[in-house]
Structure formats: structure tokens, C-alpha cells
């Protein structure tokens, strides 16, 4: 997932959220002349969130740079973890072998200001999942985008940490894990993911304007997703909350 400021007419300063296989599609849209500059925020280090990085050709050019932020865990820094996961024996090329520059940054709850169009400020928040996991609040161009791709729902779909609600408060867009129906969740209650009802509850409590269901179950068909989307749009009714199911390649402007 990639964000741009409205003032970045040439789309030269991407903010990348996680580095999964979708990164290869994004790579095909970038110049290969070493001019790439980008910043990425990892929610966590599960393979589906990082496996696009070794194949990201734009950073394998002299002069290119990608800065990566994300959580550490159990005293192991993000840089150490990335060095283990991307390199032998899992991949034939190490990050240090790339021609461009990979910079591993640090971020805490105070957030960071990015020196790029739109004056974005990014705040992380630890959310419940199966390993150390961040959700992010991005404030840019006077708008707020919140990204929580993996989030453990409670049994009643009606509880979360105050810090999570604060992260989501009054967001223009909340992109939230919504992998399971309530019936499916009964068998997978400790797999670290959310129900549609839980995502709706958070969006309603935090007075979000647009909720985007994300992290679809890989077995879910497009037809099923469209039916689920319609059901929750009708459920939101006159509340003012808009609801969408994320679609590959979709662009949203706020």
C-alpha cells in the first residue's frame, strides 16, 4: 500500500505501508535509474509483510534509497531481524549486496516528521497480534490515514486498548484487518486477526469517516467480499460511516 501527498504531483515521495508481494507491482511503476527515494513502515515481520523487498528492483541501483521503520521484539532490533530474514539461506542476496541504500530507522510512540511534501507525521501504536505489531496513524495534508492490517479481535468484538482508539480517532480513512466472519472466528479466535464486526466497532467508536476492510481471507471469493461489503454498508446506514472492501489496484483520494 502506498500513500502520496496531494502536493506531490510527480509521485516522487512514496510512503509505503508494508513490503509484501504488492511491492513488485509498485516496482514496475518506478524508474530504474537510481532516482528512487521512499520510506516504508512495517507493521511487523511476518513473511507476507516483507517478502516483496528482496525483489524490489528500484533499490538495486546506485543512488537509490529506501528507509524502513518498524517494531523491534525481545531485544532484537529491526535491523538485526531484517538481516536474518533476507539473506542466506532464505534468499541468495543480502540487503547489503544491493546497489542502492537500505536504511533501517527507529520510531517510537512520539512519531516522526518526514521531510517531504504534505509534511507527513507518522505515529506507531502497538496492537495485539501474534508478534510485536504496529498500527500507524499518518497525518498528511491535514488528513488522517490509519493502517492496522493485523489485529487480534476479542471474543465479544467490543474491546480494545484505549491507545488503539486514540490512534484511530476521527480518521478520514481506517484500513483495518477484517479476515473473518463471526462464525469463522469461533474456530480461529487465537490466530491474531479480526472480524468484520470488530473493525466496524472500532470505526464507530473512533468516529472514523471511511472504513476499508483489509487482510481478506485468501479463500474469500470476490463475490463473497462484495456481499459482505454490501451487508456492512447497509448496517452502517445513516451513521455517516462509509464502508469499503479493499480491492487490488484501487486508488482512494481524500
Together in a domain, 9 and 96: yes
Give the pLDDT mean for 5-30: 92
Together in a domain, 167 and 238: yes
Contacts of 1 (CB under 8 A, 6+ apart): 16, 17, 18, 22, 147, 175
Closest-CA residue to 207 (of 253, 254, 173, 159):
173
In a domain, 128, yes or no: no
Together in a domain, 101 and 153: no
In a domain, 54, yes or no: yes
In a domain, 125, yes or no: no
In a domain, 48, yes or no: yes
Together in a domain, 153 and 233: yes
Q: What is the DSSP letter of 154?
A: P
Residues 28-37 have pLDDT tens digits of: 998 778 789 9
pLDDT, position 173: 98
Q: Using alpha carbons only, what angle is made at residue 243 by residues 2 and 204, rounded to the nearest 5 degrees?
A: 105
Together in a domain, 58 and 8: yes
pLDDT, position 155: 85
pLDDT confidence band for 9 (50 / 70 / 90):
confident
Give the pLDDT mean for 221-239: 95
Together in a domain, 220 and 147: yes
Give the pLDDT mean for 135-162: 94
Together in a domain, 164 and 104: no
pLDDT, position 131: 87
Together in a domain, 2 and 57: yes
**Domain residue limits at 245:** 142-254
Together in a domain, 149 and 87: no
In a domain, 67, yes or no: yes
Cα distance between residue 230 and residue 117, in whole Å: 36
- For the entire predicted model, the pTM comes to 0.94
Q: Of 110, 131, 159, which marks where a domain is finished?
A: 110
In a domain, 25, yes or no: yes
In a domain, 188, yes or no: yes
In a domain, 168, yes or no: yes
> What CATH number is attached to the domain comprising 217?
3.60.15.10
* Torsion, CA 156, CA 18, CA 43, CA 150, rounded to 10: 10
Residues 90-129 have pLDDT tens digits of: 888 888 888 999 999 888 888 999 999 999 999 999 999 9
Together in a domain, 103 and 8: yes
Together in a domain, 33 and 106: yes
In the chain, the number of structural domains is 2
Amino acid at each position: 500500500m502506498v500513500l502520496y501527498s496531494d502536493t506531490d504531483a510527480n509521485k516522487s515521495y512514496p510512503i509505503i505501508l508494508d513490503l509484501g508481494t504488492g511491492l513488485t507491482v509498485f516496482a514496475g511503476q518506478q524508474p530504474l535509474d537510481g532516482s528512487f527515494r521512499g520510506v516504508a513502515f512495517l507493521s511487523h515481520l511476518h513473511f507476507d509483510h516483507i517478502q516483496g523487498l528482496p525483489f524490489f528492483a528500484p533499490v538495486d541501483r546506485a543512488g537509490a534509497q529506501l528507509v524502513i521503520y518498524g517494531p523491534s521484539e525481545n531485544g532484537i532490533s529491526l535491523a538485526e531481524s531484517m538481516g536474518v530474514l533476507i539473506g542466506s539461506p532464505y534468499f541468495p542476496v543480502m540487503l547489503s549486496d544491493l546497489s542502492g541504500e537500505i536504511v533501517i530507522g527507529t520510531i517510537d510512540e512520539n512519531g516522526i516528521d518526514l521531510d517531504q511534501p504534505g509534511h507527513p507525521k507518522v505515529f506507531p501504536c502497538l496492537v495485539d497480534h501474534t508478534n510485536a505489531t504496529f498500527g500507524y496513524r499518518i497525518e498528511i495534508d491535514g488528513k488522517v490515514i490509519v493502517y492496522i492490517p493485523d489485529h487480534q479481535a476479542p471474543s465479544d468484538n467490543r474491546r480494545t486498548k484505549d491507545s488503539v482508539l486514540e490512534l484511530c480517532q476521527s480518521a478520514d480513512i481506517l484500513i483495518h484487518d477484517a479476515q473473518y466472519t463471526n462464525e469463522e472466528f469461533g474456530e480461529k479466535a487465537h490466530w491474531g486477526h479480526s472480524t468484520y464486526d470488530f473493525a466496524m466497532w472500532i470505526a464507530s467508536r473512533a468516529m472514523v469517516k471511511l472504513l476499508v476492510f483489509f487482510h481478506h481471507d485468501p479463500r474469500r471469493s470476490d463475490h463473497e467480499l462484495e456481499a459482505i461489503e454490501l451487508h456492512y454498508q447497509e448496517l452502517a446506514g445513516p451513521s455517516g460511516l462509509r464502508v469499503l472492501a479493499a480491492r487490488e489496484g484501487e486508488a482512494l483520494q481524500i
